[in-house]
Amino acid sequence: MNMPKKENVLVVSTNRKAYHDYFILETFEAGLSLLGPEVKSLRQKEVSLEGAFIRAENGRAEILNMYIKPYKFNSLSEPDPTRARVLLLNKREIRKLHAGAQIKGQTLIPLEIYFKRGWAKVKIALAKGKHLYDKRESLKKKDLNREMEKSFKNSIRF
């Protein structure tokens, strides 16, 4: 009986504010089309997803405003740190993302960047923006769960 191999995944960067600001409806995994120096900067975890978003149109998906720090040992011309980078997805997935983004209140955001079996990948989400009262409700739930765990841990100790 063959056991499935555990995949090596090295998380480079996460968008921590995404879960606070959005309801995540659906997630996708996409490859990233990068230049050599950008890959080296990614491996050194010199990337920021703050303010990044995804645009899917004309049969192509791109990630915009993602900052990748220029690689300091690069001898060639440096690419723009916030240039639009192409996402590698199937046509069916691109159509699905485009249709989802057309609905009012929904957007496409990157959740995390990671290396999977040596390839740079980005986890993207179709998300709906939260209102202020939704954010407060999420914080209340998080605090309640934290308090319950704390009281549970204290009750176990005799």
pLDDT tens digits, one per residue of 45-69: 999 999 899 999 898 999 999 999 8
As given in the structure block, the two tokens for residue 108 are 């496409």
Q: What is the pLDDT of residue 158?
A: 54
**Residue of higher predicted confidence among 153 and 42:** 42
Report residue 27's pLDDT band, with 50, 70 and 90 as the boundaries: very high
Q: What is the pLDDT of residue 9?
A: 86
pLDDT tens digits, one per residue of 118-141: 899 999 999 998 888 788 888 888
- For residues 33 and 14, what is the distance between their CA atoms, to the nearest angstrom? 18
Report residue 4's pLDDT band, with 50, 70 and 90 as the boundaries: low
Mean pLDDT (whole number) for 1-9: 64
- For residues 136 and 140, what is the distance between their CA atoms, to the nearest angstrom? 6
As given in the structure block, the two tokens for residue 116 are 């999977």
- Residue pair 88/35 in contact by the 8 Å Cβ criterion: no
Q: What is the pLDDT of residue 6?
A: 61
* CATH number, domain 9-131, options 2.40.280.10, 2.70.150.10, 2.60.200.30, 1.10.10.10: 2.40.280.10
Q: Which residue, 130, 97, 125, 110, is CA-closest to 50?
A: 110
As given in the structure block, the two tokens for residue 48 are 């920021």
Q: What is the pLDDT of residue 5?
A: 58
